[in-house]
Chains A and B, each alone.
Chain A
Amino acid sequence: MSAGGWAPRRTLSLVERNARIFRRSLTAVLASLVEPTMYLLSVGFGVGALVGRVAGVEVRYAAYVAPAILATAAMNAAFNQTSFAVFSRMRNERSYDAIVPTPLSVADIALGEVISAVFWGLFAAVGFVLVMALLGLIVSPGVLLAIPGALLVGFAFAAGGLAVTTYLRDWSDFQLIQLVMLPMFLFATTFYPVSVYPGWLRPLVELLPLYQSIQLLREPSLGVFNWGVLAAAGYLMLFGALALALATRRLTRQLLA
């Protein structure tokens, strides 16, 4: 049985369902801002006081890390929705058992979950930009470009999360996900420029989707514009599209056995 193709109205009906559930958990939106805000305060300001000026960076350290933490906030918010939440719907709530017998196709379900997660990432991004503003870390109106940027970041990680979820056997496999997400968070130039790494290591770091996400958001937020931003956008689009295709294919096999 095929994935069944997309129909916008059917896809949106799933987004509507998720929106109704989100609406009841607004504290969860706030919660998704706690961790990035804490990192911004303790590393951005706390460690920032120890760091002083960073070579090759014009602004103070907290303003430099803020857009990168913004990228991780959008990433985590979107990723958690298509990993934790979707896995819980597959295993615990068995929501899809009720949805599959409706006219929705598996492609509708996959895209609907990704779109919902992108919104989630967008909320986190908007919330975090407000936090940045409160802390006086907006250095350029270019930060407004970070909002559409966060949509792309959300898309890449929502689709990636959904693809990963189709490979999970049980809840303990989430530890393995942490083993990928944590080093990516630590090494994707969130806290320091890529020039810290020896030359041979840089291409590896640059392959990380979070590195590309930070590229996409950081320079525009700091009021710097170059063509690298477009390359990052292209990378994230491609990454998300491939992940979504993979996720849809695998979900079809799992839901329509």
Chain B
Amino acid sequence: MEETPIVVARGLTKIYRSRDGAPAFRAVDGIDFSFGRGEAFGFLGPNGAGKSSTMRMLAAISPASGGSLEVLGMDPALDGPRIRARIGVVPQDDCLDRELSVRENILVYGRYFGLRRDLIRERLGELLAFAQLEEKADAQVEVLSGGMRRRLTIARSLINRPEILLLDEPTTGLDPQARHILWDRLYRLKQDGVTLIITTHYMDEAEQLCDRLAVMDGGRIVAEGSPRALIEAHVTREVLELRFSVDAHAAVAERLRDRRLGERVELLPDRVVVYAHDGEAALAQVHAAQLSPITALVRRATLEDVFLKLTGRSLID
């Protein structure tokens, strides 16, 4: 992105003060990043990687403990309300007013931004259409499905026409169909020029939605780039997954390493993973070595593999 970025962080740090005997906790440990307008940026990492803390600082609702942060050209510590007036936030657990109707939820939220009632009503129809909730406009939130609630939360967060939309784990807990509907809605937003900042621990989601990703672990950014670039830089094109009886895995991994199979052999609790440019060829070598796996699967490498390589841990624990 050549134009001036709308978010710039340098050495951004978040330390939670010690409380009730627990030691101080460094949740975000000096990270740098910047986003351009209209970009879709993802923070990928397991629970506790520092994604949510970073998002809270971006939303100007949590003061940075160190480093610098600029959102829309302003300092969150000084201009909190002005920044918040121009961004939208979709929290992980929807936090809707369950007693109120769909329409009222949006109306009430718009009032928090000081928007005039007639302006909110004007935008309401378009937001309900966007969220595919026109028929549910007068239903109480209580009766909505999880996917509908999430779409309502997104519609609600758009009432102030935000320039940046922060989404924390947008599809966690949704069924596959609801996830696809949601992704489709987010695409449209991106097309309209809204900057999307997403945290997720689903690599398929990150691949689907994000132009650029930062892989986080232990409060640091351990890698950054487009999904494809990350895969190319850190893992092979294909992956061979082998399952044997559980107590045989360690010995098998050892043998495959001795035979220099593929680029790298990784031992996981439930399987052995071989990174190779040609998965089928690697599988043939396995059979040639007189090994007979219970199951064998050749697939394309994903971000999950990138994460495993970078951190030595699986993304979803």
A and B in direct contact, judged by CB atoms within 8 A: yes
A residues near B (Cβ < 8 Å) are 1, 4, 9-10, 13-14, 16-17, 20-21, 24-25, 93-105, 255-257
18 contacts between A and B (CB under 8 A): A4-B80, A9-B114, A10-B114, A17-B111, A21-B99, A21-B100, A93-B97, A95-B97, A96-B95, A97-B91, A98-B95, A98-B96, A100-B61, A102-B112, A104-B112, A105-B80, A256-B61, A256-B62
Given A101-B87, A102-B84, 9 more pairs with CB closer than 8 A: A13-B108, A14-B112, A17-B111, A21-B97, A93-B98, A98-B89, A101-B84, A103-B85, A105-B80
Residues of chain B with a CB closer than 8 A to A10's CB: 112, 114
Closest-CB distance, A8 to chain B (whole angstroms): 11
What CA separation (Å) do A8 and B62 show in the bound complex? 23
Known: A4-B81, A101-B59. A17 touches B108 (CB 8 A): yes
**Closest A-chain residue to B77, C-beta based?**
A1
B109 close to A (CB within 8 Å): yes
| In the complex, chain B residues whose CB is within 8 Å of the CB of A96 | 95
Chain A residues with Cβ under 8 A from B62's Cβ?
Answer: 1, 256-257
Which residues does chain A contribute within 8 Å of B114, judged by CB atoms? 9-10, 13, 103
Is the beta-carbon distance between A20 and B91 smaller than 8 angstroms?
no
Instruction: Give the distance to chain A from B52, nearest Cβ to Cβ, in Å.
Output: 11
Which chain A positions have C-beta within 8 A of B153?
98
Q: Which residues of B contact A25 (CB under 8 A)?
A: 99
**Alpha-carbon separation in the docked complex, A101 to B157 (Å):** 10
Whether A94 contacts B97 by the Cβ 8 Å rule is no
Question: Chain A residues near B87 (CB, 8 Å)?
Answer: 101
With A1-B62, A13-B114, A255-B61 as contacts: A98 and B109 at CB distance below 8 Å: yes
Give the distance in Å from the alpha carbon of A96 to the alpha carbon of B96 in the complex.
Answer: 10
Q: A4, A10, A24, A102 — which one has the most chain B CB atoms within 10 A of its CB?
A: A102
Q: Is B16 an interface residue (CB 8 A)?
A: yes
Q: Provide the bound-state CA to CA distance between A1 and B61, in Å.
A: 8
In the bound complex, residues from chain A placing their C-beta under 8 Å from that of B112 are 10, 13-14, 99, 102-104
